Chain A
Amino acid sequence: MFKIIEKKFLSENVARLVIEAPYIAKSRRAGHFIILRIDKNGERIPLTISDADVEKGTISLIVQRVGVSSHKLCAMNAGDFILDVVGPLGKATHISNVGTVLCAGGGVGVAPLFPIVQAMKLAGNRVITIIAARNKDLVILENEMAEYSDELIVMTDDGSKGTKGLVTQGMEEVILREKVHQAIVIGPAVMMKFAALTTKKYDIPTMASLNTIMVDGTGMCGACRVSVGGKTEFVCVDGPEFDAHKVNFDEMLSRLGAYKDKESENYEEYVKSCEAVSLN
């Protein structure tokens, strides 16, 4: 059992949970994730470790409400327990001093981007960060990112905050303005696909952190497999980070939709059951 120490909504549908997990706090590096299971009938879902405090023995997770499990998680409070948390999983991000690093995060992908921004900055890089969201209410981690970035660009689809436009436009502006040595893109698969196409045009090495469907997270099932440079890789053990220019994003997108019908069916039932409870 893993105790929730703190919970805070960062935006309407995105919450940060601080969880007691001393071993994971000590072993985790930027890029690592965990798998959790809320209760005994729950599913196993992957979430990036967005921060950790070794002294307090805690890790931070950022979760967006999209389906049954994330709703249940967002409804939990400090003092509640999560049944299972396992990690740290995946390979840590390769952090080195390369010069100027352009970090672009879309939506809740800003959360897994944060520890990488932090580590890149501490490694002595010039870090330019772009955080993109549909509107101003969905922008998260602005202050945290600003603290570790030489420059922070906020973008919204509707222009309600920062610059109006898509993340790729912001990226292109930076690339045209100054020499970028490496790019890191994390967000919805579609966003990563177009961000990768953008940097490919300018021949900038680009890394994407993939968020595929997972079950065990330890390499034993291959649910998370993707094609990278024509070769099948398991995101949970070979990744989650890969050369964005080699990832087959179209295949990844169709695999992400494998359970869409089941997921929305489960979600509708869950919402109904919540309504029934609130009526009582």
Chain B
Amino acid sequence: MGEELNEEYYKAERKTEWRDKLRKEIKAKERTDISRVRMPEADPNVRNKSNLEVNKGLTLEMALSESHRCLDCAVPTCIVGCPVGTNIPKFIKYLEAGDVLGAAEVLKENNSLPAICGRVCPQEIQCEAQCFYVKKLSKEGAAIGHLERFVADYAREHGPTTIPVLAEPNGIKMAVIGSGPAGLTVAGELAKFGYDVTVFEALHDLGGVLKYGIPEFRLPKSIVDYEINTIKNMGVKFITNFIVGKTASIADLKEEGYVAFFIASGAGLPNFMNIPGENYSGIQSANEFLTRVNLMGGGNKDFDTPVHTGKNVVVVGGGNTAMDSVRTAKRMGAERAIIMYRRTMEEMPARAEEIKHAIEEGIEFINLASPIEYFADERGKVNKMRVQKMELGEPDASGRRRPVVIEGSEYDIDVDSVVIAVGVSPNPIIQQSMPELEITKWNTIKVDGNMMTSIPGLFAGGDIVRGGATVILAMGDGRKAASGMHSYVQADVLAKV
């Protein structure tokens, strides 16, 4: 799924004396006998009442023990599983050799946001799924995500603040639209090439979904800010409160000297189900609920933004956004915080870890059920929802078994707050301001293999191209787009000589 494996390059690295020596220190058999590290977690009954980070991170001893498990394979297939091509064995072997800061430098070669990826990537279907342990030994893979997180956190807490090596500034202006994971990645990569990069962000704070979407208990905001600061230290400029397509157009920015653009405006438009009563007050999108809490401080008495919570909260959906919403509702005092999902636990798109954490925290699950109507009190505030039961039928185009309505199975439950987390669509602001831009029928932007849109010099990536996807896929797009933009601009510059 990531970059193609340049086997020669990795083999040459692996042959260095210190890696050779390290491999020989412990026999392969002994390495494979070590059991996988367990991430320490905060007590479910304490953490579900606070914003405490659930995963507490590894100790140095744990991280070293886990680093021994990595066999430093001749063909490191794990790298192929990483959308940004992180040099996994190299960073783990630096760690094993006791050079944690060296390991952190390796992470930065390909990834501007390692402390974030180590926390939110679904490693079990990416790098770790391609690990030798999983593929050949039917054992649990090396805990690559936990180690990435450990190394990034250790470097932040113990190391000097460093930035990657940058090319000489070339004075060429590049614009990045959106400061989410895709935009941040492109900004960091373009800065390494020596470009004069400015990131335009519509909201008042940087980070996109990392700030307004993913809650503090999964991704502390201070860590996001630290990683953004590293990109600032690389010379990237950030302008908040600036909506490209509204505050100024791409044509306006061209006049200001920007030569290439990267659109990373994301898929911020929430989907609703369009069922009766859905606009009663007390029913909100997950984006609204999470934005009020995460970005605006809703629920904290020092902040002015109110947030609607209740005793009986139902979150409709089964993805990570649904899990984030329901666990947030629990933390805001819900007595019953319920996930309602139309398929079974097995089909849930949320990460297995998030589902496990939710269960531990006392979240209720109502599976094979879907709302069909909402009811409200005399003030128009939701107080009841009608639900119908489903069963699984034949697999659909995606291969998942389709939920089929069980006739006559309707029943009502009392609710005082409902959060809709049934997916998002691409934000249409850029497309609306540029009618000549080619888009798909899903309103995503069309791009070629280099992530260039139908307009030369205009690139796009992340959710605006994919629809709602993951942080790491957005970052993979960012890396690809940055090299596409570099080639484009270099060809353009050469053409003018």
- Residues of A bordering B, CB below 8 Å: 23-24, 26-27, 37, 41-44, 68-69, 83-89, 215-216, 218-223, 225-227, 232, 237, 250-251, 253-255, 257-259, 262-263, 266
Contacts and interface: CB of A to CB of B under 8 A. Distances in A.
B179 to A, nearest CB: 14
A255 B284 CA distance: 11
A126 B368 CA distance: 60
A220 B204 contact: no
Given A69-B304, A83-B204, A89 B246 contact: yes
Contacts of A43: 296, 303-306
Contact of A258 (B204, B305, B308, B428): B308
B288 A221 contact: yes
A258 B269 CA distance: 22
Given A23-B242, A41-B303, A41-B304, 9 more contacts: A27-B246, A44-B305, A84-B204, A216-B202, A218-B243, A222-B284, A222-B288, A232-B279, A262-B306
A226 B288 CA distance: 15
Interface of B: 202-204, 240-243, 246-248, 268-270, 272, 274, 278-282, 284-285, 287-288, 291-292, 296-297, 302-306, 308, 376, 379-381, 427-429
Contacts of A219: 268-269, 427-429
B278 A232 contact: yes
A14 B104 CA distance: 56
24 contacts: A23-B242, A23-B247, A27-B248, A43-B304, A44-B204, A84-B240, A86-B241, A87-B247, A215-B291, A216-B291, A218-B203, A218-B268, A218-B427, A220-B269, A220-B270, A220-B291, A221-B291, A222-B270, A222-B288, A225-B272, A232-B278, A254-B280, A255-B380, A258-B281
A221 B202 CA distance: 14
Contacts of B381: 254, 258
B248 A23 contact: yes
Contacts of A251: 279, 380
A257 B243 contact: no
A257 B379 contact: yes
Contacts of A253: 380
Contacts of A83: 204
A232 B242 CA distance: 27
B241 A227 contact: no
A217 B253 CA distance: 22
Contacts of B282: 258
Contact of A266 (B246, B279, B304, B380): B304
Contacts of A237: 428-429
Contact of A44 (B269, B279, B296, B380): B296
A179 B306 CA distance: 46
A86 B274 CA distance: 30
B282 to A, nearest CB: 7
Given A43-B305, A218-B429, A87 B296 contact: no
Contacts of B248: 23, 26-27
Contact of B279 (A27, A42, A227, A259): A227
A254 B241 contact: no
A250 B379 CA distance: 10
A221 B246 contact: no
A86 B242 contact: yes
Contacts of A225: 272, 279
A86 B247 contact: yes
Contact of B204 (A37, A227, A255, A257): A37
Contact of B246 (A69, A84, A88): A88
A87 B246 contact: yes
Contacts of B296: 43-44, 215
B215 to A, nearest CB: 16
A258 B381 CA distance: 7
Nearest to B204: A84
A253 B378 CA distance: 12
Nearest to B239: A23
A216 B285 CA distance: 13
Between A88, A254, A257, A259, the greatest number of chain B beta carbons within 10 A of the residue's beta carbon is seen for A254
B279 A220 contact: no
Nearest to B203: A216
Nearest to B424: A220
Contacts of B380: 250-251, 253-255, 257
B245 to A, nearest CB: 10
Given A85-B241, A258-B281, A215 B247 contact: no
Contacts of A222: 270, 272, 284-285, 287-288
The 8 closest A-B pairs by CB, nearest first: A254-B380, A220-B268, A258-B281, A221-B288, A262-B306, A84-B204, A43-B304, A86-B241
Nearest to A37: B204
Contact of A259 (B269, B291, B306): B306
Between A41, A222, A226, A257, the greatest number of chain B beta carbons within 10 A of the residue's beta carbon is seen for A222
